[in-house]
Amino acid sequence: MTKKYISNKDESARLFGNNLLESLSKVHWSVPLFVFVPIILTLLYWGVAEFQLDTKSVIIYFIFGLVVWTFTEYTLHRFLFHFNFKSDFGKRIHFLIHGVHHDYPNDSKRLVMPPAVSLPLAAFFWFLFIYIFGVEINSILFSGFLAGYIFYDMTHYAVHHYNFRSKFWIAIKNHHFLHHYKNSQKGYGVSQPTWDYVFGTSFKEEKGGKEVR
């Protein structure tokens, strides 16, 4: 099903009547860097200094965290952000968490996740991964997970606001724009399309390597 957008301008729709809630729903693209990069570095230091993890273990756990993020990105986007709510309340919630982005895809203040949402989600995954992997492994794994999240957020902003020359980045941009403007039930990977190929939700390759507009 193709979802039509409302505006391609850098403009916002008001989501909340309360001014504080409205302000918390918007964020400059650089904010996740200031919030999460120190956390990532702290976790890496903690894993090495506290648990005496060797270089090989750090690299393996970090890369595994990146991979876990890519799967989480795909899963959340496909099954939560595009869940087909039936009730009016559910549709309202869907619009707040993701529908507004499809209607205002170039709104520069709502292209990265605000800390009011990302920090509670990060806390949820932190404790989930501690339960699954333990604190020692998770100290490095979660740093990779957060690094993947930062890459996702920065990629998402860039594909909507930068003109790429690299074929690699043009392919990433095209994949995401096809999700917006051709079929929102495909192309759930934003930072990379790997899981779309694995689960059959990718688009057929466009010939010519041109950007989708």
What tokens were used for 144?
A: 């990779």
Q: What is the pTM of this model?
A: 0.91
If one counts every other C-beta atom within 10 angstroms of the C-beta of residue 148, the result is 23
pLDDT tens digits for range 145-191: 999 999 999 999 999 999 999 999 999 999 999 999 899 999 999 99
Residue 48 domain flag: yes
Residue 143's pLDDT band, with cuts at 50, 70 and 90, is very high
Residue 14 domain flag: no
- Decide: helix, strand or coil at residue 25: coil
Q: Taking a C-beta distance cutoff of 8 angstroms, is the pair 193, 175 a contact? A: yes
Provide the number of structural domains found in the chain.
1
pLDDT tens digits for range 63-102: 999 999 999 999 999 999 998 888 888 888 888 889 899 9
Residue 208 domain flag: no
Backbone angles phi, psi at 68, to 5 degrees: -60, -40
Residue 18 domain flag: no
- Decide: helix, strand or coil at residue 145: helix
Residue 198 domain flag: no
Question: What is the maximum alpha-carbon separation in the chain?
Answer: 53
| pLDDT score at 1 | 38
Residue 205's pLDDT band, with cuts at 50, 70 and 90, is low
Residue 207 domain flag: no
Q: Identify the DSSP state of 109.
A: G
| pLDDT score at 124 | 97
Residue 135 domain flag: yes
If one counts every other C-beta atom within 10 angstroms of the C-beta of residue 69, the result is 23
- Report d(CA 148, CA 141) in Å as an integer: 11
Task: State the residue range of the domain holding 127.
Answer: 27-163
Residue 54 domain flag: yes
